[in-house]
Amino acid sequence: MNKLAYILLTCIVLGCTSSNRETKKEEIKKHKMEITNEQQDFLGITNKDKLSAASKRALKWPTDLSNDWFFEYQVEDLKGDLAYEEGVVRRDPSAIIKVDGKYFVWYTRSVGPTDGFAGNIEEDKVFPWDRCDLWYATSYDGITWKEEGLAVKRGEKGSYDDRSVFTPEIMQHDGKFYLCYQTVKSPYTVRVKEEIALAWSDSPYGPWTKSEEPILKPADNGVWKGETQSRFAVEKKGDFDSHKVHDPCIIPYKNKFYLYYKGEQMGEAITFGGRQIRHGVAIADNPKGPYIKSEYNPISNSGHEICVWPYKGGISSLITTDGPEKNTLQWSPDGINFEIKSVVKGAPHAIGLNRYADPDKHPTHILRWGLTHEYMNDDYQYIRRFTTWKMVHHTAKGERGEE
């Protein structure tokens, strides 16, 4: 090798080595988290250069960590016809709407005890929400309620909703009223597929016209294993909603209609100490559909009953009961991509929101009062009222708060 070639080769090697060093420095700099003095002080981090996994997660939290999205709550009995009644199941209250100075609520209603799956499925009642119809009640003060009677009943034998209709949600839009709800067709086995239907009326008193078929069905891409009636035996689990679609709620949003729902997956697992439950959304141009499931589903990692409302151009969601993000309040700017805004101590079950409230007044204003259900025992549930309040400060007895 002549002298010139040697010099060129040396320059190339040194240049590559220098370039590699610079690249590694850039990579280190890229992955090193920048921490301000204010962040270090607020989060109590001992050493900026020695970060635990917890500290790294904390540094990714939203910048607004105020308590505006936090609430505490209490529950109390109602008066009138919605007070506890032995032998009667009243549960899953819808949102509350106000028409001509009167509050309206719809709910799941059945009678008699629960028998489970061990007996005669064709004759027994396997769940409290089995063999149910939708009823409604009215009130002038939200405390004393009058049961008005049947709103939507089960279908005739052989129809898609002949076994039970339950878990209603109300939407008032352009002078019409829409009830979405769950349906089950006989026989009610543990592998039965549950669906979502719709009914509509020109008056909150009815009469109601039911959709001829469900407006939303479970995904059809799971595969059961064997013939034994076990919902945990699967060859393929399928999508997050391959077994059941539950707890529907339709919200007018961005000139469309967003149907939020809970999905149950075939072969449902236990994750993070809770059931493997997630939420999804389906979108339509018309209240009656057709509803098309979002390609971004599922839109939550956790949850149980759907509790959603519009807020500041986006959608708020209260996530409860199951999963790693349970007991959180979340918000999405587009109705699909949700982020945690607060962690709460707990929340009432199956919340019926007061839709008459102004949702934009405060992040939790719509939660200030509403309806919930509570188990008196395994057989009978009843509807109660909840109230919430904002946590203003955290002080010891006799201590003065921040001024």
Q: Per-residue pLDDT tens for 125-158? A: 999 999 999 999 999 999 999 999 999 999 999 9
The pTM for the full model equals 0.89
Q: At 210, which helix (H) or strand (E)?
A: strand 209-210
Beta strands at 133-139 and 144-152: parallel, antiparallel or unpaired: antiparallel
**Would you state the structure tokens that stand for residue 25, as one six-digit string?**
């420095």
pLDDT at 146: 98
Contact present, 173 and 158 (Cβ < 8 Å): no
Q: Per-residue pLDDT tens for 190-239? A: 999 999 999 999 999 999 999 999 999 999 999 999 998 899 999 999 99
Q: At 109, which helix (H) or strand (E)?
A: strand 102-111
pLDDT at 21: 54
Q: Per-residue pLDDT tens for 357-376? A: 998 999 999 999 999 999 99
25-39, 346-360, 387-401 — which one is most confidently predicted on average? 346-360
